[in-house]
Amino acid sequence: MKAKLEYIWLDGYQPTQGLRAKTRIAENFSGKLEDCPIWSFDGSSTRQAEGGASDCLLKPVAIYPDPDRKNAYLVMTEVLNADGTPHASNGRATIMDEDEDFWFGFEQEYFLMDPSTNRPLGFPLNGYPEPQGPYYCGVGAKYMFGREIVEEHFDLCLEAGLNVEGINAEVAAGQWEYQIFAKGAHDAGDQIWVSRFLLERTAEKYGVYVEWHPKPLGKDVDWNGSGMHANFSNSLMRDSGGKEVFTSICEAFGGDNIKKHIAVYGAYNDERLTGKHETASIHDFSYGVSDRGSSIRIPVGTVEDGWKGRLEDRRPASNADPYRVAAVIIETVHSSQK
């Protein structure tokens, strides 16, 4: 039997990378990652190479069944140069090898947009809908827009084997969220990117597009932006814990490390991190128990469990690369424990 292998990769566009994909046919395919060959593509068409030496390589790193196509698989890949070294656009290659000790839960927010108006679903062509309030976790056609897309995407992710732990309508009209948990930074990043691909492809069927910009309505409007809050822990945080351990980690995220984190937390994040709409200002750094207006939130459950558990970095934007976010978090946590 012939199987369709959809190779997915990240292009070289800046400041925000986009998803690319193409399909190849495999005869009598086993369904295993090791049987997915390295493939090539024209990097000059994706801002990853010059026309005179345009070949880039796609190295398969994760595979999932594709529930929306017959006899098909989704193959997440990372981009390599022609000599086999990681391409400059390859955020996955920045993750430390010993990342398996880290668990990540990403809360992916996004807007569904009407291409005829370039405004979120539920927004009129001119002006605004009813102010924020009834949309968050709401129900009913007066306040909910695009639920059929969200539900179809939810089912597809689960059927593909992605560890989606929940969905909800968000604070603004046309804004939604899903959450993915994974053990290991590579796995977490792979699953977020494949889930984004499935969302883009699902919305495409409905003539809608997904907006990953963290503040698509502008920084001065009274509407929430979109983030990708990063919940994280390692074995020390989960098993031993202690207030001193968590304080040391939180302190490490401040100071000289602030710029390093913000640099990979998504483009245009300054429009979202204003100190309003459940964010801390991009110019400040803070942490606090159960404080959604801080840079780092210490969940009340972590404290109640004897200072064991996770932390939530609320600064990553919805368009951030989860590979690079995870990589810098791992680096900073390690620095606090030396």
- For the stretch 169-203, pLDDT in tens is 999 999 999 999 999 999 999 999 999 999 999 99
User: How does pLDDT run across 128-158, given as a tens digit for each residue?
Assistant: 999 999 999 999 999 999 999 999 999 999 9
CA angle 79/265/121 to nearest 5° reads 95
| 53 has a pLDDT exceeding 70 | yes
Query: Could you give all domains of the chain from N- to C-terminal order, each with its CATH number?
Result: 2-90 (3.10.20.70), 99-336 (3.30.590.10)
Average pLDDT over residues 253-266: 96
Does this model's pTM top 0.85? My answer is yes
pLDDT band at 98 (very low <50, low <70, confident <90, very high): low
Strands (E), the chain: 2-10, 19-27, 39-42, 55-65, 72-80, 103-114, 119-120, 164-169, 175-183, 209-211, 228-233, 287-289, 296-298, 311-313
What are the percentages of helix, strand and coil residues in the chain, rounded to 5? 25, 30, 45
